A and B are shown apart, each in its own frame.
Chain A
């Protein structure tokens, strides 16, 4: 899932300081599950901002909402009234949420309350770790199921580098060395020969380096004939 983290409250407060009527919108998808932007977090953020305002004698009006998926315009349209009725939308979704609101209501301001971080896996409750960077060309079948692009600090294809120390990364001893892990995994699977070969330079054109990416499913796209006007989802 996409894992995000709330920005520090001070930063959020500064960001929204000039605005009076603020609608805070959370999202029930990834960010709810990673405890960053579900209903609880939205309510807590609003309450904390109100306490701060109270202390500092500032007046702002807040509305707290949550939508099913903020990255889809149909879900956002459900709360259109509230968006239009505010000076500022504070999005408690990944940056896709704030951008979807912005793209659909370009004259409105939609600010991010979260920092969107990683494609991560919950290792245990409250701990998420990065395991994919969305490079657009998956090779983990050759690396024991462990992605070196995301999990190696240097995205090496021919690791581990000389900084691998006791199976830890040179960047931080708390991080596991991805290539050490790949070596161990392949050994377990009896497939060590896979890393004996030289891996050629990666073609990064499938990643962000190839420019902004759009994935299309032609068979799923609606034809001009099928397209409907803006409609309610309920």
Chain B
């Protein structure tokens, strides 16, 4: 055990993992977090707390983690390289570990142009891979990137994200390999709509034996409307939504129900895919649907240790 988190245990047990996301509020009020933690508890093995996602100022991910932990929910904190330099990132890692946070997802971060602070000075001292490399060394050797010793190193389980749908496609498995080499324990993928392309990526991942070295969580997004599907296709860089999915959403009588059905079907397909060790549900602004999806996908009850 590297960190002894619930997430790590489920992975190690070989069971199919479920994670989900809780978006921290744009306010100083902890209530929405408490509400979601209570509602979602027991429906996933760990919950991502996003780090100022799409560069919008929100309650910090570490503070959010501390709040949901009080409700007995295990957090995965996201840490992007956009807003903090190496001093702040290492310091926050120590702080998070001290608070009992055991899962960290290392991300480069969305560019600030997408958010509500377009005039921000971006940091990008690290990128996600160098962040992983530094955090891994910190937890294993107690050494900072600058060489300084850390007496009681943080105990964390390290994750990364990878997007099989960003160009160049042929490099995407290599990039996962780099993340494995940098010390990642698990990987969440970008939301999958194009199963063919994902399957291709998984082929490459398997042929390099990467699925044996890293736990892969396939990302899914339940959609409410055809508009949402089109938005993701057209406006979200590095996201592929095939037309048949948009058409299916558009032609449905009840698009919400169709979105749920689609998501459950996708999970069924992914469950059968060799090398996929779990799913990561990104129900953006629709957290309350997670229990139903997990249940309909036959992923209940969640294992306990």
Contact surface of A with B, Cβ cutoff 8 Å: 153-172, 177, 180, 183-184, 195-202, 204
| B:4-56 near A, CB below 8 Å | none
CB distance from B194 to the nearest CB of A (A): 13
CB distance from B172 to the nearest CB of A (A): 9
User: Given A165-B166, A165-B237, A180-B168, A201 and B113 touching (CB < 8 A)?
Assistant: no
CB distance from B160 to the nearest CB of A (A): 11
Residue from B81, B113, B166, B239 with most neighbouring chain A CB atoms (10 Å) = B166
Complex CA–CA separation, A177 to B178 (angstroms) = 19
Among the 9-residue stretches B67-75, B118-126, B293-301, the one with 4 or more Cβ atoms under 8 Å from chain A is B118-126
B108–A156 contact, CB under 8 A? yes
B162–A162 contact, CB under 8 A? yes
Residues of B within 8 A of A162 (CB): 161-163, 166, 190, 238
Given contact pairs A158-B128, A158-B130, A170-B114, a sample of 14 additional A-B residue pairs in the complex whose CB atoms are under 8 Å apart: A153-B122, A154-B124, A156-B127, A157-B129, A158-B129, A159-B127, A160-B168, A163-B163, A169-B237, A171-B111, A180-B167, A180-B168, A201-B130, A201-B133
Contact of B181 among A155, A167, A198, A201 (CB under 8 A): A198
Residues of A within 8 A of B190 (CB): 162
| B:98-140 near A, CB below 8 Å | 108-111, 113-114, 122, 124-130, 133-134
Residue from A158, A197, A202, A204 with most neighbouring chain B CB atoms (10 Å) = A158
Residues of B within 8 A of A183 (CB): 168, 171
Residues of A within 8 A of B128 (CB): 158, 161
CB distance from B12 to the nearest CB of A (A): 25
A200–B130 contact, CB under 8 A? yes
B166–A201 contact, CB under 8 A? no
Contact surface of B with A, Cβ cutoff 8 Å: 81-82, 86, 108-111, 113-114, 122, 124-130, 133-134, 145, 161-163, 166-168, 171, 174-175, 177-178, 181-182, 190, 237-239
Residues of B within 8 A of A161 (CB): 108, 127-128, 163, 166
Residues of A within 8 A of B111 (CB): 153-154, 163, 170-171
Complex CA–CA separation, A48 to B243 (angstroms) = 54
Determine the residue in chain B with the shortest Cβ distance to A199: B130
Contact of B125 among A159, A196, A198, A204 (CB under 8 A): A204
Residues of A within 8 A of B238 (CB): 162-165, 170
Complex CA–CA separation, A197 to B171 (angstroms) = 12
Residues of A within 8 A of B114 (CB): 170
CB distance from B174 to the nearest CB of A (A): 6
Complex CA–CA separation, A62 to B34 (angstroms) = 67
Complex CA–CA separation, A165 to B175 (angstroms) = 16
User: Given A165-B237, A171-B113, A160 and B171 touching (CB < 8 A)?
Assistant: yes
CB distance from A205 to the nearest CB of B (A): 10
CB distance from A8 to the nearest CB of B (A): 18
Residues of B within 8 A of A202 (CB): 125, 130
